[in-house]
Amino acid sequence: AVSGSGPATVAALGLILIPGMAEAGYDKAFAAATVSVASGLAIIIPPSISFIVYGDIMQQSVGTLFAAGVVPGIVVAGFLCVAVFLVSKKRGYRGQPRGSASVVLKSLFDAFWGLFTPVIILGGIYGGVFTPTEAAAVAVFYGLFVGIFVYRTLTFRVLYEILAETVAGTSVVMIVVTCAGLYSWLGATVGLIDKVAALLLGISENPVVILLMINIILLFAGMLLDAISIAYVFLPILAPIIITFGWDPIWFGVMMTVNMAIGQVTPPVAVNLFVAARISGLTMEQISRPAIPLLIASVIALVIITAFPGITLFLPRLMGMM
């Protein structure tokens, strides 16, 4: 979840976990599906790019959104664990032998510098040391320090490739943001956004019905668009509805993000499945089928998070952020 991006998490962990699970006797397609769906947690559990975008558009505290995503993320992860356990038990998959204390300690020691990254990011944000934007810069310099001086895997050539990929990826995002901003301005100028919001409100005055419709719309949107595009396209329309029904914008942001996490693994686009397919050498069709039980588990978790806002708002209230 440290990357804050579902596809990036699939790319980072899939190269290790998918071959490792296949060697341990798991079906390769099931391994790829598990990594793909579980990587959706990257935009729910902080730090999350989706929460940063949502907070910017809706003028909400990113730190509060980060805190609000923790418990729902655990809920989704719990349902995914149950689904994976049931499938594994049915197919007779077995885990690895438990490692000795020395092996576990050595693994923790080797991974210490990497595991310390979220401590710096989240600790700095919640401790008031720096803002989420500043946290990103600190994390970059920390990663450079660890890569160059600790693990010594970052050469000038690798660093150049990383910077080139970053510039290309950022350019795409900024183009999307620019076009979405133009869309929002045009929609507001001609009154389209208000008319669409009024149309939805005219269908029913029951908040449960409207909430169900919004969830369905977001799920379908997630099948076709990436999370950032969905936020910029739909939030200008949904904001008046949130205000009308008095919904908590923090809870709504988490619910919307869970929807987008599910969309990342739902065909036809399914960006997480696409990345996993490239890594594993399988087709999206081969991965989609074993992903169905995990998607069902995610939808059940979404229903619970939607029905019980207290699950989302518990931690921010406990931390005195609301």
From 22-26, 173-177, 257-261, 270-274, the region with the lowest mean pLDDT: 173-177
- Exposed/middle/buried for 291, CB within 10 Å: 0-12, 13-18, 19+? buried
Q: Which domain holds residue 55?
A: 6-98+191-318
Decide if 12 is inside a domain.
yes
> What are the structure tokens assigned to 248, written together?
């908590």
Give the distance between the most distant pair of CA atoms in the chain: 66
Does 173 have pLDDT greater than 70?
no
Question: In angstroms, rounded to a whole number, what is the distance separating the alpha carbons of residues 312 and 67?
Answer: 9
Task: Tell me if residue 167 falls in helix, strand or coil.
Answer: helix
- The total of structural domains in the chain comes to 1
Q: In this prediction, what percent of the chain has a pLDDT beyond 90? A: 39
Whole-Å CA distances, 141 to 88, 127, 144, 283: 41, 19, 5, 37
Flag whether 176 is in a domain: no
Token output for 90: 């049915």
Helical residues (DSSP H) of 225-321, grouped into ranges: 227-245, 249-263, 271-280, 284-307, 309-318
Assess whether pLDDT exceeds 90 at residue 152.
Answer: no
In a domain, 209, yes or no: yes
| Structural tokens at position 68 | 């609000």
Whether residue 302 is predicted with pLDDT greater than 90 in this model: the reply is yes
Cα(12)–Cα(289) distance, integer angstroms: 23
Chain segment 216-250, per-residue pLDDT in tens: 988 888 888 778 888 888 898 899 899 999 999 99
The verdict on residue 147 lying in a domain is no
* Domain-embedded: residue 243: yes
Which pLDDT value is given to residue 279? 87
Q: What whole-number distance in Å separates Cα of residue 262 and Cα of residue 131?
A: 28
Question: Does 116 reside within a domain?
Answer: no
The Cα–Cα gap between 193 and 200 comes to: 11
Domain presence at residue 107: no
Judge whether residue 108 has pLDDT over 70. yes
Q: State the pTM of this model.
A: 0.83
Inside any domain, residue 115: no
What's the pLDDT score for residue 128?
Answer: 79
